[in-house]
Chain A
Amino acid sequence: MRQHLQYTNNGKLRHFLSIDGLKKETLEQILTTADKFTQFGQREIKKLPLLRGHTVVNLFFENSSRTRTTFEIAAKRLSADVINLNPTTSSTSKGETLLDTVNILEAMHTDLFIIRHAKSGVAELIARHVPDHVHIINAGDGQHAHPTQAMLDMFTIRQHKGPFNELRVAIVGDILHSRVARSQIHALNTLGAHEIRVIAPNSLLPSQIERLGVHVYNDLQQGLDSVDVVMMLRLQKERMHNAYIPGEQEYFNLYGLTTDRLAAAADDAIIMHPGPINRGLEISSEVADGPRSVILAQVTNGIAVRMAVMAMILGGEGNG
């Protein structure tokens, strides 16, 4: 069903809603295309004419600064016109308000909506609602998916570590609330990572997470043994009121990534984090700012990866 919604009848990428349902070739094409776009950031004129005349709307129902900014920069580097909207959601008639907002923007002949929403499934709901010539990119929906984040993570891994089939990757922290972790797991599986581990206390793990093809560890040091990539997650403090963890200091003592704990990983392991970072909670400053951290490379790569997804979706419409 998802695959059907994300591709046109000709097999071209139509919407980008979740990694789940996308073919390996599509993910590889995103990475290859993004690779070509990385060079443009260093040119005197940082613009390509590909999306000239197209209108892109950043529709962010939930706050975000870096994701919205990198989408905006990516669209502008491709010469699209960009509109940023942060509509407030009415709690009583959310569904109706949402589709009304989209209808109104669509009537202004927009081509692409970048959507972030606190509820899972909103991007898909809108994708089912819009006519054929309008496209949707999911910029994070509830606890469901954040596919462009996962792809920029894959790009960063490939850039620093090479082919996926030789890599052991550990995802550490609040897996339960993390749309990033779900998308990362699907992407790593599709691209054929050698091993995927998730490391967290049981209270922060979704039930039956093993079914996604991951190895579960409750102990950080055991889980980090010989891994090539450590992907940290932000502890979602705003969701911690239900006593998922005994306390922040206890959490850091057990699951915080420090230089000492990192010794268990491969000597050349890289450290990633989708941001924003809770320093001293899930990761120490020493590690976050250390030589093996690629956290800033992730931000830079986010622009090229988002350019690639937009170009693949909006290009070749005449045939699609």
Chain B
Amino acid sequence: MTKKIDVDVSALLDKLVTDLTPLLAIDPIIIGIHTGGSWLAEILHQRLTINEACGSLDISFYRDDFSRIGLNPEVKASNIPQDISDRHILLIDDVLQTGRTVRAAMNEIFDYGRPASIRLCVLVERNGHELPIRADYCGITLDLRPDQQIKLTGPEKLSLMVGDLAAGDNQS
């Protein structure tokens, strides 16, 4: 069962825009993780009025469970339009849970070059961490049961949905 939870996504985005504004001083490159993170990256990119195009990552080729579950047939091409060497990266995802997606994303980023720094911004940070990875900027922190899954739906109208974990692997 999946239901919409009572969180105002646009209020979370307002908070993130306020928190992220000081970062403009270091001229960051915004990179969203496909798919929810890419939607958020587009919005934040626009609200922060950054001119440089934002990038998107599909980390399917870097997942640590490839040898277990194989290739995702829906994998999209990653696209980082500029040279990231010595630049500050603002990495955006919808939900931080285990930290495995972010680890895969960082591995992929380093195959494009050596950034000066990477900061992590997520809409939701929830319990269930499995790696020493925490968000630098986060819209809301939620405490959920292990069998609950939270997901951002969109992109026309963004809302957060909470449901019971379906059979299969959740790697957020």
Contact = CB atoms under 8 A, between A and B. Distances in A.
Interface stretch (A134-142, A214-222, A310-318): A310-318
B149 to A, nearest CB: 21
Contacts of A45: 110-112
B113 to A, nearest CB: 6
A311 B78 CA distance: 17
Contact of A315 (B67, B77, B112): B67
A315 B71 contact: yes
A313 to B, nearest CB: 10
Given A44-B111, A44-B112, A319 B78 contact: no
A314 B70 CA distance: 8
B67 A39 contact: no
A44 B113 contact: yes
Contacts of B58: 36
Q: Bin chain A's interface residue count.
A: 20 to 34
Given A50-B66, A315-B67, A29 B73 contact: yes
Interface string B7-30: 000000000000000000000000
A43 B112 contact: yes
Given A43-B111, A45-B112, A311 B71 contact: yes
A58 B66 CA distance: 23
Given A36-B75, A39-B78, A49-B62, A316 B111 contact: no
B127 to A, nearest CB: 27
B107 interface: yes
B1 interface: no
B157 interface: no
A130 interface: no
B107 A316 contact: no
B3 interface: no
Contacts of A32: 73
Interface string B69-108: 1110101111000000000000000000000000000010
Given A315-B71, A316-B67, A319-B69, 16 more contacts: A32-B73, A33-B73, A33-B75, A36-B61, A36-B77, A43-B111, A43-B112, A45-B110, A45-B111, A50-B61, A50-B66, A50-B71, A315-B66, A315-B70, A316-B68, A319-B70
9 contacts: A33-B71, A39-B77, A44-B112, A47-B111, A315-B66, A315-B71, A317-B70, A318-B68, A319-B69
